[in-house]
């Protein structure tokens, strides 16, 4: 799969699309993504009141802006092999710059069309990216990770110390209705802002995608793979890291700007470690090795964050467990799992995996159920009780202090775990046979 992509990228001009059909065939994933982004809100449109669902629009906006953030994180992580623990500082500082820009426009001390306000965040991210990148990219690997962690703590501390720029704990509030739109759009409704977010998410994603096909983007890959070899073809790996870091700051800043346009406030948690961790989680869950992995991971994380957090106090725990499971069993992330199926698809035997997968599904679901039940029981003893809520599944109220639910949950988890082991062994045998066949037929690439 990824080989196809590189091949296509490499042959670029030679494979010029012929007309609309060729264009659609080449960029179907992009077109489908943009179409889905613009259509999905209408599924939740309330035709009675003629209003969009605010919850859905906010969630989708969050997916968009966090995708930009995660993709920019992956410019360092996946592309350049630089694991940053402080990436949110570029996102958050881009947000602060945007908030101040909006306030300045509102006050009449500067002029910028609303549609171009994200660029202010981008430039902010670029400047801070260059400054912090200058320090961090002196090193690579573990030392780089440590420096970024230190920078993250530094900026988070500054955010509470320098009231003028950061606004302390209250953050900086702003108003996106600044009446400078090029198209006369007031941006007073969530839908209007959402369209702006979709447009900028698409622009930023396309630019980041194109960046992977530039000399700098390729040499970032090269330095990730073998920095010494890169030196002996004339490149200074440190400068490759620096430019890549600064550019990634530009896009992180755009993400932060979109955040400010959506929420009209930027607070200290946009630069905090938890925000950095979100990008890392999304990238790993989706897969750092492919371009779209971070987007997929962001969708999963935001859905868990927005959707599951309505139902459960423990959503972050589920994200954490998912992260651990992915890192342990699928280091290539969800996109990696998809890519592993490519050789089997190429020999046309993908259908033979349907039954084994269905057989994995039953114990898998049961194990998830048992685990969720255990977590929720524990959470209802503590947080739930404090909030004065009852643990209800449908209409049935479950008493977290009784023994039965605990025993049932533990038994389900344990039993399903053993069952899953058995099934996965059978699955493995079938899988290995198919892979062996793919190898024999030379379909491994």
Partner 1 sequence: MSVAPEAAISLRGVHKSFGRTQIIRGVDLDIPRGQRHALIGPNGAGKTTLFNLISGRFAVTSGTIALNGRPIDGLAPHEINRLGLSRSFQITSIFPRLTVFENVRCGLLWARGYRYSFWHLLGGQRALNEEAERLIERLNLQGRRNVPAGLLSYAEQRALEIGITVAGGADVILLDEPTAGMSHSETEYAVALIRQVSEGKTLLMVEHDMSVVFGLADVITVLVYGEVIASDAPTRIRSNKAVQEAYLGSEAA
Applying CB under 8 A, which residues contact partner 1? Answer: 3, 6-7, 9-13, 210-211, 213-219, 221-222, 224-226, 228-236, 239-240, 243, 247, 445
Q: Where are the strands (E) in 150-192, listed by range?
A: 172-173
Residue 255: both structure tokens together: 């993400």
Partners of 440 in the β-ladder: none
Residue 33: both structure tokens together: 């993504």
CB of 141 to partner 1, least distance (A): 16
CB of 213 to partner 1, least distance (A): 5
85 or 245, CB closer to partner 1? 245
- Which run of H or of E encompasses 398? strand 396-398
CB of 111 to partner 1, least distance (A): 28
CB of 84 to partner 1, least distance (A): 19
Burial tier of 352 (Cβ tally within 10 Å: 0-12, 13-18, 19+): middle
- The number of beta carbons lying within 10 Å of the beta carbon of residue 53 is 15
The secondary structure of 323-342, three-state, reads HHHHHHHCCCHHHHHHHHCH
213 or 382, CB closer to partner 1? 213
253 or 384, CB closer to partner 1? 253
52 or 224, CB closer to partner 1? 224
Tracing tokens 């296509």 back to the chain, one arrives at 8
**Residues 296 and 332 sit within 8 Å (Cβ to Cβ):** no
**Residues 115 and 176 sit within 8 Å (Cβ to Cβ):** no
2 or 58, CB closer to partner 1? 2
54 or 442, CB closer to partner 1? 442
Instruction: For residues 316 and 278, give the distance between their C-alpha atoms in angstroms, rounded to a whole number.
Output: 10
In degrees to the nearest 10, what's the CA dihedral of 216, 217, 223, 226? -130
Q: What are phi and psi of 128, to 5 degrees?
A: -65, -35
CB of 250 to partner 1, least distance (A): 10
230 or 319, CB closer to partner 1? 230
79 or 270, CB closer to partner 1? 79
3-state secondary structure of 173: strand
Instruction: For residues 340 and 11, give the distance between their C-alpha atoms in angstroms, rounded to a whole number.
Output: 24
Residue 310: both structure tokens together: 């309505």
**Residues 214 and 279 sit within 8 Å (Cβ to Cβ):** no
CB of 137 to partner 1, least distance (A): 12
């Amino acid at each position: 799969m990824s080989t196809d992509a590189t091949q296509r990228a490499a042959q670029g001009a030679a494979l010029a699309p012929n007309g609309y059909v060729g264009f659609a065939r080449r960029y179907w994933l992009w077109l489908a993504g943009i179409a889905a982004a613009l259509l999905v809100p209408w599924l939740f449109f309330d035709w009675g009141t003629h209003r969009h669902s605010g919850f859905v629009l906010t969630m989708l906006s969050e997916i968009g802006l966090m995708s930009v953030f995660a993709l920019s994180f992956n410019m360092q992580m996946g592309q350049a092999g630089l694991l940053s623990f402080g990436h949110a500082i570029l996102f958050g500082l881009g947000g602060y710059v945007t908030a101040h820009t909006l306030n300045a426009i509102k006050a009449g001390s500067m002029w910028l069309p609303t549609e171009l306000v994200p660029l202010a965040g981008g430039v902010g991210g670029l400047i801070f990216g260059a400054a912090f990148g200058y320090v961090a990219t002196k090193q690579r690997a573990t030392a780089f990770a440590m420096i970024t962690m230190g920078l993250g703590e530094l900026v988070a501390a500054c955010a509470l110390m320098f009231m003028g720029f950061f606004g302390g704990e209250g953050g900086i509030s702003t108003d996106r209705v600044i009446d400078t739109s090029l198209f006369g759009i007031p941006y007073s409704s969530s839908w209007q802002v959402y369209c702006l977010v979709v447009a900028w998410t698409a622009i930023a994603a396309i630019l980041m995608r194109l960046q992977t096909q530039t000399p700098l983007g390729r040499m970032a890959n090269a330095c990730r793979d073998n920095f010494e070899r890169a030196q002996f073809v004339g490149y200074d790996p440190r400068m490759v890291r620096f430019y890549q870091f600064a550019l990634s700051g530009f896009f992180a800043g755009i993400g932060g700007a979109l955040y400010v346009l959506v929420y009209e406030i930027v607070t200290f948690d946009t630069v905090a470690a938890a925000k950095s961790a979100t990008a890392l989680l999304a990238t790993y869950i989706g897969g750092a090795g492919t371009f779209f992995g971070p987007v997929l991971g962001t969708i999963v994380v935001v859905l868990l964050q927005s959707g599951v957090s309505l139902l459960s106090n423990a959503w972050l725990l589920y994200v954490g467990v998912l992260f651990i499971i992915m890192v342990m069993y699928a280091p290539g992330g969800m996109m990696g799992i998809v890519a592993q199926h490519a050789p089997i698809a190429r020999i046309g035997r993908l259908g033979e995996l349907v039954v084994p997968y269905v057989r994995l599904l039953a114990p898998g679901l049961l194990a998830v159920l048992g685990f969720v039940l255990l977590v929720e029981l524990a959470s209802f003893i503590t947080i739930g009780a404090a909030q004065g809520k009852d643990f209800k599944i449908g209409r049935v109220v479950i008493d977290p202090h009784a023994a039965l639910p605990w025993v049932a949950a533990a038994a389900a988890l344990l039993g399903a775990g053993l069952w899953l082991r058995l099934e996965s062994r059978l699955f493995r045998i079938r899988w290995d046979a198919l892979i062996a066949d793919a190898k024999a037929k030379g379909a491994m690439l």
